[in-house]
Structure 1
């Protein structure tokens, strides 16, 4: 009998709901929770170092202020990226991409690593080439998925590093995402969960991994539809709910 693959639980910026987002603490917590994947964001520092940060500014998640692109890696490393979440996380640092990759390698991670290029608001000139160069130098033992809201970043990086998987992020631009999928520019679609529920009759047979799936109702929706994955701030909760809904190996 045909056995469906279980829905992958992908940790959004690590275990964002329980640890300071996009820090090594958050990624380790996601791995400890049994997440099948890690989702995170990459930007360029002023000195063109690949750093892990969601917002274009550091204000929300650190004790600093200003744009990521206006600060060197050394300056970014002096910031506290944990205190905003809780005093017990004071002193937590912004990680580099390489620090995250080395953590995953040490943990013998073999799941999905979904790296979002944060180029939709600020296009970091050369970041696609830098990523292609980095992963050419650093082989990884896990599935590498690049995603972006900016279609051109996907197209550019795919031409430089075709061996990875690619996915289109979108909130409402479903037509563009579907067109890219038909043109084989991406293999996966990463839509806003609100868009998915509003288009429930449009559930393509592709790698559909909605974000950000945090409520039990939304988690159950994705699990019952056997989506390829779901991206959540609470990977431990999603893993537990998957066991209840999909079991260990559902037929």
Structure 2
């Protein structure tokens, strides 16, 4: 089996992260999967962005949860990356899903529930309800740094794979794996390089694997996948190491 290439926030290294252009670039680069993040707006809409604040990636300020969808749609999510992307808007979960359907994307869609800093009330139920009412061509995977979100989603949709995210604290991931709530781990690549031999036999998809050295490390050890800002580069390196 080839190590799967998961595009981190789309092709984050070559397009404005978590925007439709980034997801299109990831598909065109041949990524096996797409990783993205979901929050709730003030009016309960599922918003695709990494940070809790809009400040870093848009021309706005403040928390997503303090803005309505209409207010968020007024912000520019591309101009800070490059002037060529001025006018790019913050997408909703539905807009991303419809894009993937349009492109007939059949790989992995890894949705991170961003509840480790703000515990958005009911976000797990809204996400599960969305996918219960939308037929999709791709394989859905949930992940989160917040164990309670994973536990809730496992209750709501036990048929959907869930994976545990962590930087250095593996205890929650081990507990969820022992309880058969998560199938795999999504740890920081820096942690993996030190600890991977000590892990139980789990499916590993480290993040954020951006250097050729780290990519080759993941490919040599045949990890299940890697999460990268540069899916095009990762695909070229994989061909050299694993073929296919």
TM-score, scaled relative to structure 1: 0.96
Distance in 2 of aligned mates of 1:31 and 1:204: 32
For structure 2, the residue ranges without an aligned partner over 5 or more in a row are none
1:177 — aligned with what?
Answer: 173
Q: Aligned match of 1:210 in 190, 193, 206?
A: 206
Q: How many Å apart are 1:200 and its aligned residue?
A: 3.6
Q: Deviations over 1:182-206 (max 9, x none)?
A: 1101001100001101114225432
2:85 aligned with 1:89: yes
2:188 aligned with 1:192: yes
Q: Aligned match of 1:227 in 211, 223, 228?
A: 223
Q: Aligned match of 1:167 in 163, 167, 191?
A: 163
Distance in 1 of aligned mates of 2:198 and 2:235: 26
1:64 — aligned with what?
Answer: 60
2:131 — aligned with what?
Answer: 135
Distance in 1 of aligned mates of 2:186 and 2:200: 12
Q: Deviations over 1:95-145 (max 9, x none)?
A: 000000011111111110000000000000010110111001102111100
2:24 aligned with 1:47: no
Moved >4 Å (runs of 4+):
none
1:73 — aligned with what?
Answer: 69
Distance in 2 of aligned mates of 1:14 and 1:151: 24
Distance in 1 of aligned mates of 2:89 and 2:112: 20
Distance in 2 of aligned mates of 1:66 and 1:139: 34
2:168 aligned with 1:152: no
1:99 — aligned with what?
Answer: 95
| Alpha carbons of structure 1 residues 204 and 246: separation in structure 2 relative to 1, 3 Å | farther
Distance in 1 of aligned mates of 2:218 and 2:200: 13
1:36 — aligned with what?
Answer: 32
1:238 — aligned with what?
Answer: 234
Distance in 2 of aligned mates of 1:67 and 1:245: 43
**Secondary structure of 1:98's partner?**
helix
Q: How many Å apart are 1:238 and its aligned residue?
A: 0.1
Distance in 1 of aligned mates of 2:46 and 2:243: 39
Considering only aligned residues, what root-mean-square deviation do their CA atoms show, in Å? 0.8
Distance in 1 of aligned mates of 2:241 and 2:232: 15
Q: How many Å apart are 1:178 and its aligned residue?
A: 1.6
